Amino acid sequence: MRPELQDMTVSDWMDAKLSMNSNSFKQLINVARAGHIQIPSIVVPNFNPRITFISESDTAMYQRVKDIEAVNTFNKGVRNWGEKVEALLKQSAQSRFGHEDRPISDEFPRLSDSIKLNLRFDKQYKLETRSVGFSVARHGVYLHEGAGRGYGGLTGSKWTDRYNKKHTTNPDSMGKMGTGNRTAEYWFNDIIRNNMPELADIVANYSLDIAVNINSIFLPE
């Protein structure tokens, strides 16, 4: 029996994605979003891990955005943090995979080239940063977990390519992820963890009415 949406772990979401057809899974995603339930970035179609800033209330946000100077200082601090972390992620990807990570197509670019900073602002006033995250090519997840051609996980996966052609994991590769020449390379999470205290200070110096949500930033380990 699948747990309640609010209680689902990353593994539960992965199991749901693998066991449900695409339409049913999209409906599950929509229900979760409607209920303001955080969805792990790993299971959404485009992998865009992000950190979200949640205001205590609309009134608290209104009071904050009236101070334009403070808002601009906060936004600049978050952007500077994001640009620094983006550079560190690119450096990590290049140093670990630069010798073998080559661009294959628009769909599979060089991992370090695919990493881009994403900033989003509040929907009501469009003044205050509400999330900071990074676009990452899908194969960045595979490299993180030691997966790849011939090195699948225990359950495998299904996906549709840009030409709408469906693919599934080769049964002969099941359970080989993280073995042989395909060992897991944790190139992403430690950089986020090591830099989180600085981001937390930026938020705290701006306002104590904002919670920092990190549910959708880390790759599963």
| Residue 85 falls inside a structural domain | yes
45 pLDDT more than 60: no
pLDDT tens-digit map of 63-116: 999 999 999 999 999 999 999 999 999 999 999 887 555 555 565 678 898 899
Instruction: Count Cα neighbours of 30 within 13 Å in the Cβ-side half-sphere.
Output: 6
Identify which has the larger pLDDT, 17 or 137.
137
Most confident of the following: 3-12, 19-28, 116-125:
116-125
Give me the count of residues in the chain. 221
Structurally, the chain folds into a number of domains equal to 2
Q: How wide is the angle at C-alpha 134 spanned by C-alphas 31 and 46, nearest 5°?
A: 45
| Residue 179 falls inside a structural domain | no
Average pLDDT over residues 29-47: 72
Average pLDDT over residues 186-200: 95
Which pLDDT does position 178 carry in this prediction?
A: 45
Q: Is 156:19 a contact under the CB 8 Å cutoff?
A: no
Question: Which structural domain range is residue 140 located in?
Answer: 46-146+184-213
Clarify whether residues 194 and 103 are in a common domain.
yes
Identify which has the larger pLDDT, 174 or 218.
218
Q: How wide is the angle at C-alpha 29 spanned by C-alphas 20 and 119, nearest 5°?
A: 135
Work out the angle between the directed axes of helices 58-65 and 68-97 (0-180°, nearest 10).
100
Q: Is 143:97 a contact under the CB 8 Å cutoff?
A: yes
Which pLDDT does position 169 carry in this prediction?
A: 53
Which pLDDT does position 167 carry in this prediction?
A: 57
pLDDT tens-digit map of 169-183: 555 544 444 445 557
Clarify whether residues 114 and 193 are in a common domain.
yes
pLDDT tens-digit map of 110-131: 889 889 999 999 999 999 999 9
Clarify whether residues 15 and 92 are in a common domain.
no
Clarify whether residues 88 and 10 are in a common domain.
no
| Residue 171 falls inside a structural domain | no
| Residue 54 falls inside a structural domain | yes
Does an H or E element contain 97, and which? helix 68-97
pLDDT tens-digit map of 122-162: 999 999 999 999 998 877 877 777 655 444 444 445 555 55
Clarify whether residues 11 and 119 are in a common domain.
no
